[in-house]
């Protein structure tokens, strides 16, 4: 038994016809144009799929999976394919058939009392935000920086994170519906019990908690999920810090980690460096640097001044009833006093926006206008409102940007690879990670764009990215070597990515260690033919070996 | 391939000798006395094990598992065996060999900065509490009501809960070490990566999140776990409500669920009925009722008055810096005003205890002394200090209590079966569950002892128990029928237990539904011989069928 690469295989027409019989020709695309479109990547390599299917119901997914099993065709499910920098819409390997869930995008249930929605995988951040607003739900969601077109379920299953009290997305999902490789449909948690009353409010159910199997894996196709929402808080206050010195990072992390650990700050806390913030507003200053890379220190300092950005920049928020927000704010202020934190309440944001209107009318104070713009975008993000603000950071190093207002980095040929190790919420580890990253980025002519996010009470995720120009083959080559070098050095010191695309995964997991052997045994038990996304978050070689042994 | 019942099998001596060769004769017990001791149960039936092993290291566990595989002997791991009412120390089925981890009880690591410990499964609540105090760690743990002798890991793996901000125990563990049936040792999360820095601070790791597999299951033997602790808060305030009317339950739940959902109250909130509280202080009033059961309403009302207990009784706490505790307290007071909540700060508890000392010296106000006793015990529990206060509730209906100060319900022949359905944090569901429970308890002559715990922001666990006298065969018979009736009625309406012992599980999971088929396939892949605890949280018949098919 081997995994079949359908593109290199005879009988392509038979395969196309079999899938067409399920979803119709309009929703089964095997043409060159469609395949090319899904092959596009912000990463190092494009991955050509065999075709794309657009299922609309769980039953269709069941039938597709069964046909795939019969014909030995590998499927790769995507929610919306906006997983930029982590593999985009690309299949894990060449020749897989993509299951694009964009047409399976119903919001199946909104529960106002217990504050959750049940959604299909094609539902986007923007769609849910609009739905909640239109329904006057009084509920808030959490959003990532990937903009309104990005999916909710895809991000949850990849265990991504956002900016609010519900920032750790995996924590906020409940009650998965999953199609397995044999076509059976399971419900995690209590969902298996007929008529269960707690299926969407209590995640674990009875017996083994199996949800985790379907995150960062290829064990099944998730076709429905519950997502928790927050009641709109009575009061909201954004917290910003702009730290002037690099050495401020240590006391900042110490202080913020302590506030998180004590449960005083409950939301995700983001600490971005200067270039992370600036890249969201501007492209690399090619002219000013005389086309030299990486960015020289003096110009970097000038950019900071021009954009009103610190060496380190903190954004988080406080939510709750007025008196509690006031108390938390007071305490946070006391702890952060050396860094002169700025607190922006709903009321002050109204004033700021009014001021900005006047300035705009008068055509003055452009820089102040820009600062208000940035604060306003961040303010929304901290409230879980999906924004397009962070997307342009993806083409920081693209030389000729085709569309500065694009919502898709692919439209600007952005080269983007996220490197995102997890580390303890400890300043010494943050400094060590920087000491690994920066010299390597510099060596290959790239800039260090980095955020440390205090995502739990004990852990930080460092999100950094190789930003390169995909139209420049030399840039691509340097990105490739930089990528390998970064991963090697980080792993050597025990800083493992919390998430990665297939191209990165190959560098991270090589040995058939006991954990990955266990994962492979589960894969073998659930999907012996390797129908679902072979290569995604599971050592591919290991699986092949298992299969060969299994076939003996 | 079939699961072997060792007690009915020849070659017992060979088995004993093989295990003795690993752990020595002192730690391999197959004598009648030991087997009898582990067969004891608060539940419906005693389950006789084949013997008991006391491993001291992971390596010993590996060797034991390998020998068990070779000899086809089933093993049943217990941490401390204090799982009263959910199966006690008993094996899932007759004839299994118990792995008792009481001698594998090292506290392997205490991390003060990131606030966690790494422990072996034999570590008890009392042991950790003492360790944290002695080390002047400045850290708090969470504890269940099972007292100082109960284990931490056993409760975590059964997804039990306590009383603090870290009350949902499964949330607080990280980085499991697990011995699989083939003797391989895996580490969940980042623990698989050599030298990983975030192994104990970030639960999910990279790739599929497999921790959940090892909770409420029989997929592996957990030999080590990280447990999160809370920094001792600057301020603490217990919140108590004593509601006089049964109808108060609805507005109480509405109000408390809203405070939980908004993140204002962060700790578990317990709402116990009168008998739940009274049973922690006194036994059933056999004399006063003229030996009639269940408890007549008039005597029940008298007991409430005598013990100063409400029809419904709320206990929760507020922790944090002084100003934040004050703000949360103010808000909570406003919301709960109709119920006249009582807030007990550290300072008022000192005063109360002083007052109690005087009263005791003067030999007056016994009832007030009792109330202070109760408040004091609850106060400790809300701070995560293991207490013995709740254990005596187990022998509420035992006619002749041998030792009123016992720490083990088995010493008093207590009959105890927990029935603990999960439900949405919604008063209508609580009322419906009561409407199912109470008539059935009455029908069989039992009393309704019940707690609703707001364990997450959306879900309640209803913990109720059949309390009976194991020395009375008629009582046992009624308990058995009551148990079956309760489960049938609850399940019919979709109220599924969040946790249960093997005897209850049989009633709950019967059909080979897709979820349990999936669980069985995983079991089959990881433990094809059925070495680890067959019958525990997995349909036993289903597994046998699988095995038979597998053998074809």
- Torsion sign over Cα B287, B293, B298, B302: positive
Which helix (DSSP H) or strand (DSSP E) does residue B550 occupy?
Answer: helix B540-551
Residue A227 and residue A295 in one domain: no
Position A3 pLDDT exceeds 50: no
Give the residue-averaged pLDDT of B210-223.
98
- Torsion sign over Cα A185, A191, A192, A194: negative
Determine the Cα–Cα distance for residues B294 and B279; give it in Å rounded to an integer: 14
pLDDT at A371: 80
Q: Spell out the long-range contacts of A487-490 with Cβ–Cβ below 8 A and sequence spacing 24 or more.
A: A487/A419, A489/A436, A489/A440, A490/A419, A490/A421, A490/A433, A490/A436, A490/A437
Which of B214, B231, B248 delimits the end of a domain? Answer: B231
SS3 B23: helix
Contacts of A364 (CB under 8 A, 6+ apart): none
Q: Is residue B479 very low, low, confident or very high in pLDDT (cuts 50, 70, 90)?
A: very high
Residue A486 and residue A534 in one domain: no
Determine the Cα–Cα distance for residues A208 and B214; give it in Å rounded to an integer: 7
| Full 3-state SS string of B202-235 | CCCCCCCCCHHHHCCCCCCEEEEEEEECEECCCE
Residue B60 and residue B193 in one domain: no
What does the block give as tokens for A133? 């607003």
Mean pLDDT score of chain A = 93
Q: Is residue B486 very low, low, confident or very high in pLDDT (cuts 50, 70, 90)?
A: very high
pLDDT digits (tens, 9 = 90+) for B413-467: 999 999 999 999 999 999 999 999 999 999 999 999 999 999 999 999 999 999 9
Residue A384 and residue A277 in one domain: yes
**Using the beta-carbon criterion (under 8 Å), do B423 and A526 form an inter-chain contact?**
no
Q: What's the Rg (C-alpha) of chain A?
A: 24
Q: Is residue B540 very low, low, confident or very high in pLDDT (cuts 50, 70, 90)?
A: low
A/B interface, count of CB pairs below 8 Å: 295
pLDDT digits (tens, 9 = 90+) for B315-361: 999 999 999 999 999 999 999 999 999 999 999 999 998 998 899 89
Chain B CB contacts of A212 below 8 Å = 204, 208-213
Residue B210 and residue B248 in one domain: no
Residue B359 and residue B431 in one domain: yes
Position B102 pLDDT exceeds 60: yes
**E-state strands within B129-229:** 139-140, 173-179, 185-187, 221-228
DSSP code of residue A532: B
Which of B231, B249, B278 delimits the end of a domain? Answer: B231
The angle at the Cα of A375, spanning A373 to A379, to the nearest 5 degrees, equals: 115
- Contact criterion met (CB below 8 Å) for B147 and B410: no
- Torsion sign over Cα A448, A449, A455, A457: positive
pLDDT at B4: 44
Q: Which of B137, B142, B166, B165 is nearest to B152 (CA)?
A: B142
pLDDT at A239: 97
Print the domain residue range for A156.
107-231
- Contact criterion met (CB below 8 Å) for A325 and A216: no
Residue A186 and residue A251 in one domain: no
**Residue B391, phi-psi category: left (phi > 0), alpha (psi -120 to 50), beta (remainder):** alpha
Closest Cα in chain A, distance from residue B277 (Å): 26
Chain A CB contacts of B515 below 8 Å = 186-188, 191-192, 207, 210
Q: Is residue A5 very low, low, confident or very high in pLDDT (cuts 50, 70, 90)?
A: very low
**Using the beta-carbon criterion (under 8 Å), do B197 and A495 form an inter-chain contact?**
yes
DSSP code of residue A112: T
Chain B CB contacts of A203 below 8 Å = 456
Which domain CATH number covers B268?
3.40.462.10
Position A221 pLDDT exceeds 70: yes
Residue A259 and residue A171 in one domain: no
ω into residue B307 within 30 of 0, thus cis?
A: no
Give the residue-averaged pLDDT of B7-30.
87
pLDDT at B9: 52
- Contact criterion met (CB below 8 Å) for B133 and B46: no
Nearest-by-CA chain B residue for A432: B197
| Full 3-state SS string of B416-459 | EEEECEEEECCHHHHHHHHHHHHHHHHHCCCCCCEEEEECCCCE
**Using the beta-carbon criterion (under 8 Å), do B423 and A198 form an inter-chain contact?**
yes
**Using the beta-carbon criterion (under 8 Å), do B321 and A262 form an inter-chain contact?**
yes
Residue B378 and residue B487 in one domain: yes
A-interface mutation test, from B175, B192, B260, most A Cβ less than 10 A away: B192
Chain B CB contacts of A222 below 8 Å = none
pLDDT at A541: 56
SS3 A52: strand
B528 burial level (CB within 10 Å; 0-12, 13-18, 19+): middle
Give the residue-averaged pLDDT of A138-143.
97
Determine the Cα–Cα distance for residues A410 and A44; give it in Å rounded to an integer: 13
A166 burial level (CB within 10 Å; 0-12, 13-18, 19+): buried
Contacts of A274 (CB under 8 A, 6+ apart): A300, A303, A304, A309, A310, A311, A312, A313
Strands A173-179 and A185-187 come out as antiparallel
**Using the beta-carbon criterion (under 8 Å), do B513 and A324 form an inter-chain contact?**
no
Closest Cα in chain A, distance from residue B461 (Å): 9
pTM, rounded to two decimals: 0.95
Contacts of A135 (CB under 8 A, 6+ apart): A110
Lateral strand order in the sheet of A116-119 = A107-111, A116-119, A221-228, A173-179, A185-187
DSSP code of residue A419: E
**Residue A536, phi-psi category: left (phi > 0), alpha (psi -120 to 50), beta (remainder):** beta
Nearest-by-CA chain B residue for A494: B196
Q: Which of A114, A393, A97, A334 is nearest to A230 (CA)?
A: A114
Determine the Cα–Cα distance for residues B460 and B433; give it in Å rounded to an integer: 11
Residue B118 and residue B72 in one domain: no
Position B552 pLDDT exceeds 50: no
pLDDT at B191: 96
How many domains is chain A partitioned into structurally?
A: 3
pLDDT at A369: 86
Q: Which of B421, B500, B408 is nearest to B463 (CA)?
A: B421
B-interface mutation test, from A137, A197, A256, most B Cβ less than 10 A away: A197
pLDDT digits (tens, 9 = 90+) for B233-278: 999 999 999 999 999 999 999 999 999 999 999 999 999 999 999 9
Nearest-by-CA chain A residue for B493: A195
Which domain CATH number covers A545?
3.30.43.10
pLDDT digits (tens, 9 = 90+) for A380-389: 999 999 988 7
Which of A341-345, A362-366, B282-286, B397-401 comes out lowest in average pLDDT? Answer: A362-366
**Using the beta-carbon criterion (under 8 Å), do B212 and A209 form an inter-chain contact?**
yes
SS3 B70: helix
Closest Cα in chain B, distance from residue A446 (Å): 26
pLDDT at A10: 60
CB-nearest partner of A233 from B114, B165, B262:
B262
Closest Cα in chain B, distance from residue A49 (Å): 23
Position B551 pLDDT exceeds 80: no
Give the residue-averaged pLDDT of A264-268.
95
**Using the beta-carbon criterion (under 8 Å), do B114 and A425 form an inter-chain contact?**
yes
pLDDT digits (tens, 9 = 90+) for A95-107: 999 999 999 999 9
Give the residue-averaged pLDDT of B376-389.
90
DSSP code of residue A232: P
Task: Tell me how far apart the 2 most distant CA atoms of chain A are, in Å.
Answer: 79
pLDDT at B541: 56
The angle at the Cα of B506, spanning B502 to B508, to the nearest 5 degrees, equals: 110
Give the residue-averaged pLDDT of A22-26.
97
Give the residue-averaged pLDDT of B112-140.
98
Residue A168 and residue A91 in one domain: no
Residue B96 and residue B198 in one domain: no
Closest Cα in chain B, distance from residue A178 (Å): 10
SS3 B280: coil
Mean pLDDT score of chain B = 93
Give the residue-averaged pLDDT of B81-103.
95
Position B550 pLDDT exceeds 90: no
Determine the Cα–Cα distance for residues A139 and A159; give it in Å rounded to an integer: 22
Q: Is residue A550 very low, low, confident or very high in pLDDT (cuts 50, 70, 90)?
A: very low
Residue A335 CB neighbour total at 10 angstroms: 17
Closest Cα in chain B, distance from residue A443 (Å): 25
Exposed e or buried b per residue across B360-393, where buried means at least 16 C-beta atoms within 10 angstroms of its C-beta: eeeeeeeeebbbbebbbbbbbbbbbbbbbbbbbb
- Torsion sign over Cα B507, B415, B156, B377: positive
pLDDT at B543: 53
Position A315 pLDDT exceeds 60: yes
The angle at the Cα of A457, spanning A205 to A143, to the nearest 5 degrees, equals: 70
A-interface mutation test, from B58, B115, B208, B421, most A Cβ less than 10 A away: B208
Q: Is residue A1 very low, low, confident or very high in pLDDT (cuts 50, 70, 90)?
A: very low
What does the block give as tokens for B203? 């639960």
pLDDT digits (tens, 9 = 90+) for B42-64: 999 899 999 999 999 999 999 99
Exposed e or buried b per residue across A498-530, where buried means at least 16 C-beta atoms within 10 angstroms of its C-beta: bbbbbbbbbbbbeeebbbbbbbbbbbbbbbbbb
- Contact criterion met (CB below 8 Å) for A473 and A134: no
Closest Cα in chain B, distance from residue A87 (Å): 15
| DSSP per position, B296-349 | -HHHHHHHHHHHT--SEEEEEEEEESHHHHHHHHHHHHHHHGGG--EEEEHHHH
Chain B CB contacts of A521 below 8 Å = 525-526
Determine the Cα–Cα distance for residues B180 and B523; give it in Å rounded to an integer: 11
Q: Which of A291, A289, A298, A314 is nearest to A451 (CA)?
A: A314
**Using the beta-carbon criterion (under 8 Å), do B266 and A264 form an inter-chain contact?**
no
Nearest-by-CA chain B residue for A211: B212
Chain A CB contacts of B195 below 8 Å = 493-494
Residue A241: phi and psi, rounded to 5, are -130, 140
Position B548 pLDDT exceeds 80: no
**Using the beta-carbon criterion (under 8 Å), do A538 and B207 form an inter-chain contact?**
yes
Q: Which of A133, A138, A166 is nearest to A152 (CA)?
A: A166
Give whole-number Cα distances, B305 to A182, A339, B285, B331, in Å.
Answer: 61, 57, 14, 30
Which of A231, A246, A269 delimits the end of a domain? Answer: A231
Which of A73-87, A374-388, A418-432, B118-132 comes out lowest in average pLDDT? Answer: A374-388
**Counts for chain B of helices (H) and strands (E), in that order:** 16, 19
Q: Spell out the long-range contacts of A438-441 with Cβ–Cβ below 8 A and sequence spacing 24 or more.
A: A440/A482, A440/A485, A440/A486, A440/A489, A441/A294, A441/A466, A441/A482, A441/A486
**E-state strands within B385-428:** 414-419, 422-424
B-interface mutation test, from A158, A171, A173, A202, most B Cβ less than 10 A away: A202
């Amino acid at each position: 038994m081997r995994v079949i690469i359908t593109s290199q295989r005879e009988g392509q027409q038979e395969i196309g016809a079999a899938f067409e019989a399920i979803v119709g020709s309009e929703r089964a695309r095997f043409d060159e144009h469609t395949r090319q479109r899904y092959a596009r990547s912000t990463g190092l390599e494009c991955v050509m799929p065999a075709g794309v299917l657009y299922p609309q119901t769980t039953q269709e997914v069941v039938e597709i999976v069964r046909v795939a099993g019969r014909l030995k065709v590998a499927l790769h499910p995507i929610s919306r394919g906006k997983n930029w920098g982590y593999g985009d819409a690309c299949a894990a390997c060449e020749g897989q058939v993509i299951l694009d869930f964009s047409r399976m995008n119903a919001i199946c249930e909104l529960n106002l009392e217990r504050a959750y929605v049940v959604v299909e995988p094609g539902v986007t951040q923007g769609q849910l935000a609009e739905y909640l607003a239109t329904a006057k739900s009084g509920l808030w969601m959490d959003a990532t920086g990937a903009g309104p077109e990005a999916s909710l379920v895809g991000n949850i299953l990849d265990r991504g994170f956002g900016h609010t009290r519900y920032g750790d997305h995996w924590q906020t999902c409940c009650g998965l519906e999953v199609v397995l490789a044999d076509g059976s449909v399971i419900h995690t948690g209590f969902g298996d019990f007929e008529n269960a009353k707690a299926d969407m409010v209590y995640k674990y159910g009875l017996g083994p908690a199996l949800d985790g199997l379907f995150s960062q894996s290829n064990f099944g196709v998730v076709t429905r999920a519950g997502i928790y929402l927050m009641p709109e808080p009575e009061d909201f206050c954004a917290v910003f810090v702009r730290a002037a010195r690099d050495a401020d990072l240590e006391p900042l992390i110490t202080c913020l980690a302590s506030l998180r650990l004590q449960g005083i700050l409950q939301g995700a806390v983001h600490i971005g460096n200067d270039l992370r913030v600036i890249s969201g507003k501007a492209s690399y200053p090619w002219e000013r640097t005389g086309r030299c890379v990486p960015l020289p220190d003096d110009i970097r300092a000038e950019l900071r001044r021009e954009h009103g950005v610190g060496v380190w920049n903190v954004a988080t928020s406080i939510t709750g009833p007025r008196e509690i927000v006031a108390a938390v704010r007071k305490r946070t202020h006391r702890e952060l006093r050396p860094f002169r934190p700025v607190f922006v309440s709903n009321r002050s944001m109204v004033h700021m926006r009014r001021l900005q209107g006047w300035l705009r009318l008068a055509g003055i104070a452009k820089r102040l206008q820009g600062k208000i713009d940035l604060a306003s975008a961040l303010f929304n993000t901290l409230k879980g409102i999906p924004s397009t603000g962070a997307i342009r950071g993806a083409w920081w190093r693209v030389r000729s940007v085709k569309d500065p207002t694009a919502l898709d980095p692919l439209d600007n040929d952005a080269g983007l690879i996220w490197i995102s190790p997890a580390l303890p919420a400890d300043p010494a580890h943050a400094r060590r990670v920087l000491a690994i990253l920066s010299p390597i980025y510099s060596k290959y002519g790239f800039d260090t764009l980095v955020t440390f996010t205090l995502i739990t009470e004990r852990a930080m995720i460092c999100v950094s990215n190789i930003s390169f120009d995909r139209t420049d083959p030399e840039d691509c080559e340097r990105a490739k070597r930089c990528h390998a070098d970064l991963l090697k050095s980080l792993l050597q010191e025990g800083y493992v990515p919390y998430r990665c695309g297939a191209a990165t995964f190959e560098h991270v997991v090589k040995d058939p260690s006991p954990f990955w052997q266990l994962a492979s045994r589960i894969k073998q038990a659930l999907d012996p033919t390797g129908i679902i996304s072979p290569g995604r978050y599971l050592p591919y070689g290991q699986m092949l070996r298992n299969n060969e042994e299994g076939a003996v």
